[in-house]
Amino acid sequence: MTRRMWPWLRMFLAVAILGVLVWRLGTGAFVDGLRLVDGPAVAAALGIGLLTTVLSVWRWSLVANRLGLPLPLPAAVADYYRALFLNAVLPAGVLGDAHRAVRHGRQVGDVGRGVRAVVLERAGGQIVLIAAGMTVLLAEPALAAAVARDILPGLGVTAAVLGGLAAAGVLLVRGRWGSAVARLRRAAATSLADARLGLFARDAWPGVLALSAATLLGHLSLFLVAARTAGSSAPAGQLLPLMLLALLVMGLPVNVGGWGPREAFSAVAFGALGLGARQGLTAAVVYGVLTFVSSLPGALVLLSRLGSRSTRPATGAAPVRAPETAPVRTPETVPGRRTEDGRTLWPGAEAEPVFTLDVEPAFALGAAPGRSLGTRGEGRRPFGSAEDGEMVAERRDQAVEHALPLSRRGQ
């Protein structure tokens, strides 16, 4: 029951957050966020999106290879783009990553480890983001005070709701399926072992850390482009901490495709630092639009694979075979040897009779019983020559002459 209600609940919370923003600040910020996106901003979004996607795929490949799972980079880039697009258009926000994990697991023959590879890859990025966010809060006391005053109460309410749902889920699991707890423990132990191998190993974590930091810089660059597109002229050093915390808030599981908490935080944080709540909301909306634009290559990947699947024959269907026809044989295509008189003598015909005419009635052809016109293999010529025709005509005439007196006698 709780699992079925959770997607609808998180969608309701995200829509409620956006509704409160519209109620407090109006629809002008959302309209401006769509209207201000221009060609240079779209080009920057596609270029930065390509860079961050390649870096994320490299991180995914590093973790997967540590777990013993092969991951070809060209196909992985296409899968990652498709996952980003599905994350942006589907309500849950993580269904694209789930599809990417299951598909890779099926390709390598280990779905569980394929899913854990994707979870660890995303966890590496979140660890770097959380560490950077905590560093910003410690280095910016004014920003930390604004967050504690205006944002933490809302986060506390959200955490209370999430904690209540988690507690209800645990009670439901214990009440109905006691064996599920044991399965969860085994899954946790397996995940911890894979985390030590693929994420925290001595030859794995430096690469994951560097790639995650570079990916985070790419996201911050795109957010800075969004702020400039929205009309903000504040120094980059003042905007980047706000953007970093906004990216951190996006991880809260109460968003729809990233929308909701990001816009609320940006409005509150910009307003707390004197940059204008409306300006912060517009910048967050532009960033959401540019993020969606950067994921559009995933739509092309999705459409191309759907098209190739529709033209592929159904699995298990019997192949259609052309009806077998007997070959047409002609004297030019069938082997044989030519005789002196121009006839074709077929292989093996020397041992079998070509034509035998046994004249049992003495009056038929005027020949003795048992006499034949010839068989191959008895030293006689094969039937069908001109001499045979003359002989047959002569014997026919003799038979007619012999039969006339008998017919007259019958009269």
Express each pLDDT in 171-188 by its tens digit.
554 555 555 666 777 777
pLDDT value of position 169 = 52
pLDDT value of position 19 = 85
- Which of 116-125, 240-249, 286-295, 370-379 shows the lowest mean pLDDT across its residues? 370-379
Would you say 64 and 204 are in contact if contact means Cβ atoms under 8 Å apart?
no
Q: How confident is the model at residue 58 (pLDDT cuts 50, 70, 90)?
A: very high
User: How many other C-beta atoms lie within 10 A of the C-beta of residue 128?
Assistant: 19
pLDDT digits (tens, 9 = 90+) for 78-116: 999 999 999 888 876 788 999 999 999 999 999 999 999
pLDDT value of position 143 = 72
Mean per-residue pLDDT, 128-143? 86
- Prediction pTM value: 0.68
Q: Which residue has the higher pLDDT, 134 or 147?
A: 134
pLDDT value of position 292 = 94
pLDDT value of position 358 = 44
- Give the tokens for residue 262: 């990001």
Q: How confident is the model at residue 355 (pLDDT cuts 50, 70, 90)?
A: very low
Q: Could you give the CA distance from residue 223 to residue 52 in angstroms, rounded to a whole number?
A: 13
Q: Could you give the CA distance from residue 214 to residue 211 in angstroms, rounded to a whole number?
A: 5
Mean per-residue pLDDT, 128-136? 91
**CA distances from residue 30 to 24, 35, 48, 230, 268 in whole angstroms, order as listed:** 13, 9, 23, 11, 16
- Which of 82-86, 290-294, 323-327 shows the lowest mean pLDDT across its residues? 323-327
- Which of 16-30, 43-57, 121-135 shows the lowest mean pLDDT across its residues? 16-30
- Which of 48-52, 223-227, 303-307 shows the lowest mean pLDDT across its residues? 303-307
